[in-house]
């Protein structure tokens, strides 16, 4: 499994597993847990979840999946901005830890910019880190100006990543946020790398490249998201066959010709656009 370095030198798997829409149905929980476990066994041992997903239900499924193998997993969860006050961060982190059945998170993210002054949230993240409740903290859905603000704050350069929407039809970050992040040695975490299995997977360009590699368009979308060695990609699958397919995508290397073909249909940005998010 290729790895990506966080700014403090921690090595994490470049390809992980998303969990949005998991934990929504008790009837599906056992199979979702089994897929997550299979993913961990295949090296997709970075798991992204959030207190928001199924109102804590996704964290419970993840907790069941990591039981007995916590140390093998790089566990990421997120706090909603309306909860990210000084006291709220401590309380909500504790609730996430309880649902996840663990006493620490590897990475805790502010889900999107929001309600409380950022200094307050960052100071609270730092306290959690000192207390050993979290190993790293970061942000999500932050555009360049937001990131510059973070980096100008006390302890702001301890930010470990920014999780943003990124796939061939949503390339806006390549104009400024991605180069800035690269310059700061800050990996980006690409969410919805499969475009949520919508129009993107029907792309003729992805299909053509997939055919050359004996792969699927989903695998090409994942390989594309990993191509710069500084991006962590977190496709979600609750389907055993899709999971196996996604895991294999980590070994696909796209050629210059493949990338040029994708660029012709899915154009890189020519100007600044505000950050797209779901
Ligand atoms: P993805 O782009 O990962 O797409 C998920 C969809 O693709 C599911 O319907 C899944 O279905 C399907 N799929 C998975 N693998 C394949 C495959 N090989 N072939 C065909 N279809 C496939 O979308 P998400 O929005 O879920 O993003 C991934 C993760 O990123 C989330 O789960 C979440 O953890 C995170 N996220 C973070 C956000 C943020 O604001 N920070 C916002 C959105 C997502 P199936 O399960 O049946 O395989």
pLDDT, position 75: 98
Cα gap 74→86, rounded to integer Å: 25
Asked, for residue 225, whether it belongs to a domain, the answer is yes
pLDDT, position 167: 98
Asked, for residue 275, whether it belongs to a domain, the answer is no
- Assess whether 191 carries a catalytic annotation: no
Cα gap 219→132, rounded to integer Å: 37
Residue 208 · residue 229 · CB < 8 Å: no
Index of the ligand 1 atom closest to the CA of residue 112 = 40
Asked, for residue 76, whether it belongs to a domain, the answer is yes
Catalytic residue among 53, 108, 166, 191: 53
Index of the ligand 1 atom closest to the CA of residue 111 = 41
pLDDT, position 214: 98
From residue 134, how far is each of 83, 208, 234 by CA, in Å?
17, 43, 20
Index of the ligand 1 atom closest to the CA of residue 167 = 2
The partner residues of 163 in beta bridges, in order of sequence, read 140, 189
215 lines ligand 1 (CB under 6 A): no
Name the phi and psi angles at 57, rounded to 5.
-65, -40
Structural domain boundaries enclosing 190 = 3-265
Asked, for residue 273, whether it belongs to a domain, the answer is no
Nearest CA to ligand 1 atom 48: 237
Asked, for residue 271, whether it belongs to a domain, the answer is no
Q: How many A from CA of 49 to the centre of ligand 1?
A: 12
Structural domains of the chain, count = 1
pLDDT, position 227: 98
pTM of the model: 0.98
Asked, for residue 122, whether it belongs to a domain, the answer is yes
172 lines ligand 1 (CB under 6 A): no
Beta strands in the chain (DSSP E): 3-5, 11-13, 46-48, 74-79, 105-110, 134-140, 159-165, 188-191, 231-233
Cα gap 225→219, rounded to integer Å: 10
Q: How many A from CA of 130 to the centre of ligand 1?
A: 33
pLDDT, position 115: 80
221 lines ligand 1 (CB under 6 A): no
Cα gap 155→255, rounded to integer Å: 39
Cα gap 150→152, rounded to integer Å: 5
Nearest CA to ligand 1 atom 36: 191
Index of the ligand 1 atom closest to the CA of residue 163 = 41
pLDDT, position 62: 99
Over its length of 278 residues, how does the chain's per-residue pLDDT go in tens digits? 999 999 999 999 999 999 999 999 999 999 999 999 999 999 999 999 999 999 999 999 999 999 999 999 999 999 999 999 999 999 999 999 999 999 999 999 999 998 899 999 999 999 999 999 999 999 999 999 999 999 999 999 999 999 999 999 999 999 999 999 999 999 999 999 999 999 999 999 999 999 999 999 999 999 999 999 999 999 999 999 999 999 999 999 999 999 999 999 999 999 999 999 99
242 lines ligand 1 (CB under 6 A): yes
pLDDT, position 190: 98
What's 10's domain CATH number? 3.20.20.100
Asked, for residue 177, whether it belongs to a domain, the answer is yes
């Amino acid at each position: 499994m290729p790895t990506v370095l966080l700014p403090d030198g921690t090595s994490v798997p470049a390809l992980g597993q998303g969990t949005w829409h998991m934990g929504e149905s008790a009837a599906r929980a056992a199979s979702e847990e089994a897929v997550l476990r299979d993913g961990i066994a295949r090296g997709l041992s970075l798991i992204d979840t959030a207190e928001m997903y199924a109102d804590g239900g996704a964290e419970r499924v993840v907790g069941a999946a990591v039981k007995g193998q916590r140390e093998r997993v790089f566990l990421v969860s997120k706090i909603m901005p309306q909860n990210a006050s000084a006291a709220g961060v401590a309380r909500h982190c504790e609730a996430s830890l309880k649902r996840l059945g663990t006493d620490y998170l590897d990475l805790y993210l502010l889900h999107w910019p929001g309600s409380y002054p950022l200094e307050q949230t960052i100071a609270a993240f730092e306290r959690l880190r000192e207390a050993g409740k979290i190993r790293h903290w970061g942000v999500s859905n932050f555009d360049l100006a937001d990131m510059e603000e973070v980096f100008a704050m006390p302890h702001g350069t301890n930010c470990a990543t920014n999780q943003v929407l990124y796939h061939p039809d949503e390339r806006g970050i390549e104009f400024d946020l991605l180069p800035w992040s690269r310059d700061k040695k800050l990996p980006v975490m690409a969410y919805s790398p499969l475009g949520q299995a919508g129009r993107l997977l029907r792309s003729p360009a992805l299909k053509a490249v997939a055919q050359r590699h004996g792969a699927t368009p989903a695998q090409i979308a994942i390989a594309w998201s990993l191509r710069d060695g500084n991006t962590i990609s977190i496709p979600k699958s609750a389907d055993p066959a899709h999971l196996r397919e996604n895991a294999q995508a980590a070994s696909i290397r796209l050629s210059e010709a493949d990338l040029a073909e994708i660029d012709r249909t899915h154009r890189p940005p020519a100007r600044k656009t505000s950050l797209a998010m779901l």
